[in-house]
Structure 1
Amino acid sequence: MYRRTLRFIEILLLSCFINPIRSEWNTRDYVRREHTLTKPYQGSGMSVPYWDFLGSTIVTSNYVRLTPDLQSKSGAIWNTEPCRTRNWDLQVEFKVHGKGKDLFGDGFAIWYVKDRMQTGPVFGSKDHFSGLAVILDTYSNHNGAHNHQHPYISAMINNGTLHYDHDRDGTHTQLAGCEAKFRNYNHNTHISIVYKDDTLKVSTDLEGKNAWKECLIVEKVLLPTGYYFGISATTGDLSDNHDILAIKFFELDLLDTQKEDEDRSKIIPSAATFEAPREHIDDPKPAMSGVKTFLFMMFVAIAIIVVVVLGIMWYQKRQEQSRKRLY
């Protein structure tokens, strides 16, 4: 009995060394270096192996800043190597922070798309894209009746024909989404995008607990191989710092039902279901500012005075003409 107990303890300890307990947000073993970005970022000179930069992006020793906390900025980082992996997990460590307390924007998007290094109106990248966008939207346009608050995370699949409508915050084309308050944390925040067995799953770790919380999961999503990963961000009248601290790509094992030599490069991006769209309602016209209101009232007052003066002059002239006829 004593020997059996020792043997059991020995096996248990050995299994712990072979399969050590890891934090839940970093459990994959197959890290693909060509799709991964970790510190130190610099390679030779100012270049970063496997990554290109656009716009206002700057690289420091601690983070890659896509936009500073300034108005009308746009930046992006794009992977140079296409993804040939069928099942994968892309984990991004990021930080969004700025001076704004009640109003801030605009947000950033994580891309898996056909065309890389493209600029455009959708969080710094092109509209009518082909592929997947996971959007972390911090600014609401308030068009229509929202059933959620911002910041908000949503996923969109596009075959190149769909338009991302900022006036509706993209809700008429999103697959699914969740509220996610990821701004102005003292610790770093994480998002995981898993594509496995034609199922898209997005999870977050926003509280620094090393544990994933499911945001959305959508089945029957078709994505081809050979597309590119990228992250872009933009600011408008409102702004934030959009910082990327790490990007980790994990290749996931094929399922028994999946063929290793299957060619998926010609697949057209598609999804079986979309969330029901909400009606588009135009914003109410903004109220005039104090200066505009004052100028408008002054104009109205002057117009009334002019009308009154002209009326008095016309009345006096009529009175004079009437007296002349009497004499």
Structure 2
Amino acid sequence: MGKSVFSRMLMGLALMATTTIVIVSAGDEDGMNPLRTHSIYMPYIDQDLQNRWFDFGGDALVNTNKHIRLTSDIPSQTGYLWSRLPLTSSSYQVEFEFKVEGKGDGLFGDGFAVWLTKERATMGPVFGNKDEFEGLGIFFDTYANSRQSHSFPYVMAMMGDGRTKYDSANDGESNKLAGCESDFRGNLVPTKGRITYHRNSKTLNFKLQTRGWDEWDECFTLSDIELPVMSYLGFTSVTGEVHDNHDIISVTTSTLSGKGESPFKKLNNTPPPQKKTGVMWYLKFLAACAVFVALVMAFKMSKGSNDMKRF
């Protein structure tokens, strides 16, 4: 057998082993599958100046090279970005990049909100959305309406039941499930939020990136939380006498499966399916066999070549 044939054989076996190992590695990931219907990126709109999966409204402006501006740095604006279809997956993750900035020195506001609610695209007083909503609102509040024990900007979560009003006069203090102080306004690094929800464990986690790239800080984790089975994803903003630019730069939504449940295993003791474990073991076994065969053949061919030289 010529050296070129031998080299091609080894390369083929190495490729087989590498491919198998890659498949095994992919199976060990967090089980994230991108959801195009709830993700949006530049240029945001198609040739008809629309987006197939999202609606824009109110004072929202689309800059195809930069962002979706929910509200501009001028008074009395309201704008929104809403998914056209509801999220129906039992577990999912929503990661969004945003930017809040303006010319205001000391006085700015009012903020923006992220929604996972039963209703959609109805403008109102709660950061640009309707009051008495049903579902989850996460509020990025930059202006204090009353004296609080925490500083601003502040991020807080409220679960609406369709009847309870938002306590605007006290910055939602009576509605707050959880929250955190966060210096997300006017940052030079990309600011991001990440919502991870698992319906089976009724747990929702929210993290923020404000200090540096891929440096995530946990804001809060909600337990025993159950979002509407059909939840629309929305982003809204409002300005009054105080104002800011409130921009959404990108939204990436993924469904979660397999090990996606692992962050909350203590709340869900259901063992993982055995079938998947068996498949992973089989793929790893194939990878090991491919590497072993390649090594054996390399040894035999090398020995045969040496014998021919001695003859």
Partner of 2:158 in structure 1?
Answer: 156
TM-score (norm 2): 0.73
TM-score (norm 1): 0.69
> Judging changes above 3 Å, is the alpha-carbon distance between structure 1 residues 87 and 29 closer, same or farther for their aligned structure 2 residues?
closer
- Structure with the greater relative contact order (CA < 8 A, sep ≥ 6): 1 or 2? 2
What secondary structure sits across from 2:33 in the alignment? coil
**Residue ranges of structure 1 left out of the alignment (5+ in a row):** 1-10, 21-25, 259-327
Residue 232 of structure 1 pairs with residue 236 of structure 2: yes
Output the CA distance in 2 between the equivalents of 1:17 and 1:227: 33
Partner of 1:189 in structure 2?
Answer: 191
Alpha-carbon deviation of 1:211?
2.7
Amino acid at match of 2:190: N
Partner of 1:51 in structure 2?
Answer: 54
Amino acid at match of 1:100: G
Alpha-carbon deviation of 1:97?
0.5
What whole-Å deviation, never above 9, does each CA across 1:208-228 have from its counterpart, x for those lacking one?
A: 321321000111011122120
What secondary structure sits across from 2:183 in the alignment? coil
Residue 68 of structure 1 pairs with residue 68 of structure 2: no
The share of aligned pairs that are identical, in percent, is: 36
Greater helix content = 2
Amino acid at match of 1:244: I
Output the CA distance in 1 between the equivalents of 2:77 and 2:212: 29
Alpha-carbon deviation of 1:14?
8.3
What secondary structure sits across from 2:218 in the alignment? strand
Amino acid at match of 2:54: W
Greater mean alpha carbon deviation, residues 96-105 or residues 28-37: 28-37
**Is the contact between residue 94 and residue 243 of structure 1 (CA under 8 Å) also seen in structure 2?**
yes
Partner of 1:33 in structure 2?
Answer: 36
Amino acid at match of 1:47: Q
**Is the contact between residue 28 and residue 250 of structure 1 (CA under 8 Å) also seen in structure 2?**
no
Alpha-carbon deviation of 1:198?
0.6
Partner of 1:139 in structure 2?
Answer: 143
* Backbone CA RMSD of aligned residues: 2.4
Partner of 2:179 in structure 1?
Answer: 177
Output the CA distance in 2 between the equivalents of 1:28 and 1:111: 24
What whole-Å deviation, never above 9, does each CA across 1:277-325 have from its counterpart, x for those lacking one?
A: xxxxxxxxxxxxxxxxxxxxxxxxxxxxxxxxxxxxxxxxxxxxxxxxx
Output the CA distance in 2 between the equivalents of 1:28 and 1:168: 41
**Is the contact between residue 205 and residue 213 of structure 1 (CA under 8 Å) also seen in structure 2?**
yes
Output the CA distance in 1 between the equivalents of 2:169 and 2:21: 55
Output the CA distance in 1 between the equivalents of 2:170 and 2:156: 13
Larger CA Rg, structure 1 vs 2: 1
Output the CA distance in 2 between the equivalents of 1:49 and 1:240: 28
Partner of 1:282 in structure 2?
Answer: none
**Residue ranges of structure 2 left out of the alignment (5+ in a row):** 1-16, 262-268, 272-311
Amino acid at match of 1:207: R
Output the CA distance in 1 between the equivalents of 2:240 and 2:30: 37
Output the CA distance in 2 between the equivalents of 1:190 and 1:241: 16
Output the CA distance in 2 between the equivalents of 1:53 and 1:224: 22
**Is the contact between residue 54 and residue 81 of structure 2 (CA under 8 Å) also seen in structure 1?**
yes
Greater mean alpha carbon deviation, residues 203-212 or residues 26-35: 26-35
Greater strand content = 2
Partner of 1:80 in structure 2?
Answer: 84
Partner of 1:299 in structure 2?
Answer: none
**Is the contact between residue 57 and residue 65 of structure 1 (CA under 8 Å) also seen in structure 2?**
yes
Residue 214 of structure 1 pairs with residue 211 of structure 2: no
